[in-house]
Structure 1
Amino acid sequence: MPSELPLVQAPMAGGPSTPALTAAVADAGGYGFVAAGYLSAEGLREAIATTRTLTGAPFGVNLFVPSPPGDPGDVARYAAALQPEVKRLGVALGEPRWEDDAYDAKLDVVELARVHLVSFTFGCPTPQIIERLHRAGLQVAVTVTSALEAQLAADAGTDLLTVQGTEAGGHQGSFADLAANHRPLLSLLAQIRETTDVPMIGTGGVMTGRDAAAVLGAGAIAVQLGTALLCTPQAGTSALHRQALLDGRYTDTILTRAYSGRFARGLVNRFALEHDGQAPPAYPEVHHLTRPLRAAAAQAGDASVPNLWAGTGWRQLTTGPAATIIRRIAADARQADV
């Protein structure tokens, strides 16, 4: 990684990732990412341009690989199960449509913008896409959650593996959305290290220097941080989300498809508890279906409904500037490694 410190800012789509956060991490010596998920192609172009006005350091862009359509009947049954929420919040469910997050258009954007690195989540790009990006001078990383996924990504020609343990907050980046892919980070790094020599970035539950040192000691060349940066001033995390993370009202995290149709880890609020196990593996259909419910509850200040993404180490969150957190974790990691 072309950065002074072996610390990477996770691309947190949907609000938390901002150009200011990317720049702050990069200027502190880490490596920043622009999260392309949920942005239009034009929105991504603007985010890259804005980030470049804030930092001269190289940074990456993360793209969602399109997921296969879900079963319409399963989605309809989940919509029926959500009717009590519709009545309580007084809003209609969203249209459970499938779409590819403007995948092809965003590939064009990152290629033309000549960003340093493009990472992929929810699947592996084709060898042809990886070769296309290589020809344009870009490096490629693929998020993996198993040794099999790591081998598939290596065979496709990836330069880096972002190895995601089940401790990570937000969406699990598995190729196939299966509970069997939920594995602890350190053991996953050890498994993958035995099967491929592609450099690894480890991510999942890292909050402290000691955590980072353990990941580096397990063979990763860098450590990716997400939850640790959620409450920094540079993050775009909502006030409701920040408060729920900091006030301790929820006591644990859960992996659930309830919000989006893909497994994701967040705080255990009422919605997550009541609807866990009901949602089918249908992303982004379920994401669009539940979005009006989440938005209405957030507007009303009701934290019992929205997704409150958080990794397992969320209790150690701090609210200082991103640069302070990056430098402290790096310093503590060096100390722990002595």
Structure 2
Amino acid sequence: MSIVRTLSSPVIVAPMAGGPSTPALVDAAAAAGSLGFLAGGYLGAGELDGQMRSVHGGAYGVNLFCPQRAASSVELAAVRTYVEQLGPSLSRYGITPADLIGRLRTVDPTDAFAAKLEAVCAARAGGYGPAVVSCTFGVWNDAEVERLHGHGIEVWATVADVRAVPPAVSAGVDVIVVQGPGAGGHRATRTVEETPSDVPLEVLAGEVADVVDLPLVVAGGLGTPAEVAAALRWPGVCAVSCGSALLLADEAGTSQPHRDMVRGARECPDTAVTRAYSGRPARGVRTGFMTERTDAPAVYPYVNAVMGPVRSAAARSGDHDLVAAWVGTGVPHIRSGPAVDILRWLTGTGEA
């Protein structure tokens, strides 16, 4: 039986790469009777191992990105052109296009997947590893899924389109995470180039339930007790995964600029999907930069790598226009406070 069917709380804490996911947030999920995820994306294998060793609350999950293909010379040229056009925006931070273009030589499109897979398996063998590993941006091959199963680890696949389901089932995954268009951060498209589906989450979950007999976890824009309760009544759905709802939790590692922008968006909710900050479609607080730069090439993670220093410099200077504040459409309902309280509110067992 999948662990998702044994949880006393049906609201899972989704992985949020780049800082918001922390061992403390994972421990809080366990305290609420749920399951929390560490976000392995962008971490080195050693960093991930350190986070796994810091989890003390019981069963938890780890999310890893599927390796992406290396960019072609034509794609790299498109990224260089994009960076060069940012010149006026960069000068205020003392950054030159050449500084950023130089970073292209160091990009690892696999996100150190092999080393992190090894770290996860070693951690499980050592008694401190995850019960679940989920994949995003594709599906792992049969051998990788079998290796995780061999260590007693469940494998969950995140899909944003019903067409991604058969490959996941064929690979032997245990749970399908269905991600709808209201999700914050990057959409779990199989390829960088494809445009994310705008099929509503309820419809997409129904389509997936029609073609697979596996437990479903649904995610994307669910931010109130009523929305959670409704989603749990959909066919095949065993749990709801919430990420944006925990961005302002005390235990989240969300940066201060990110927190400030989310708080502002609660009062004037306006989110949009953009490639401007990373090259891959992602939803966040709408900024002038993402509105103006609709020409970002679909070359992830290369655009993400060159934009990283720009986002960091903007955050330090208080220039929110160049900060990627990922958040979903449920932003008006995001609460601050202890994660346990937020999770209990979402399940209807806490204070209104």
Q: Please state which band the TM-score falls in when normalised by the shorter chain.
A: over 0.9
Counterpart of 2:127 in structure 1 is none
Q: Is the 8 A contact 2:225 2:346 kept in 1?
A: yes
Of residues 304, 328, 339 in structure 2, which corresponds to 1:287? 304
Counterpart of 2:201 in structure 1 is 185
Counterpart of 1:107 in structure 2 is 117
Query: How many pairs were matched up?
Result: 330
Match of 1:255, SS? strand
Contiguous gaps of at least 5 residues in structure 1: none
Query: Residue type of the partner of 2:341?
Result: T
Counterpart of 1:236 in structure 2 is 253
Deviation at 1:183, TM superposition (A): 2.8
Moved over 4 A (4+): none
Asked if residue 27 in structure 1 is aligned to residue 31 in structure 2, the reply is yes
Counterpart of 1:265 in structure 2 is 283
Contiguous gaps of at least 5 residues in structure 2: 125-129
Deviation at 1:302, TM superposition (A): 1.5
* Structure-2 separation of matches of 1:44 and 1:25: 18
* Structure-1 separation of matches of 2:167 and 2:227: 28
* Structure-2 separation of matches of 1:16 and 1:156: 30
| The 10-residue stretch of structure 1 (136-145 or 67-76) with the greater mean CA deviation from structure 2 | 67-76
Tell me the TM-score normalised to structure 1 length.
0.94
Counterpart of 1:155 in structure 2 is 170
Match of 1:331, SS? coil
Counterpart of 1:140 in structure 2 is 155
Asked if residue 9 in structure 1 is aligned to residue 19 in structure 2, the reply is no
Counterpart of 1:195 in structure 2 is 211
Match of 2:18, SS? coil
Query: Residue type of the partner of 1:147?
Result: V
* Structure-2 separation of matches of 1:130 and 1:58: 19
> What CA deviation, in whole Å up to 9, does each residue of 1:223-257 have, x standing for no partner?
00001000011001111111111134764111111
Asked if residue 225 in structure 1 is aligned to residue 242 in structure 2, the reply is yes
Counterpart of 2:90 in structure 1 is 86
Counterpart of 2:22 in structure 1 is 18
Q: Identity rate of aligned residues, in percent?
A: 39
Match of 1:261, SS? coil
Q: Is the 8 A contact 2:187 2:196 kept in 1?
A: no
Of residues 66, 89, 104 in structure 2, which corresponds to 1:96? 104
Deviation at 1:180, TM superposition (A): 4.4
Q: Is the 8 A contact 1:145 1:182 kept in 2?
A: no
| The 10-residue stretch of structure 1 (319-328 or 65-74) with the greater mean CA deviation from structure 2 | 65-74
Counterpart of 2:133 in structure 1 is 118
Aligned-CA RMSD value:
1.6
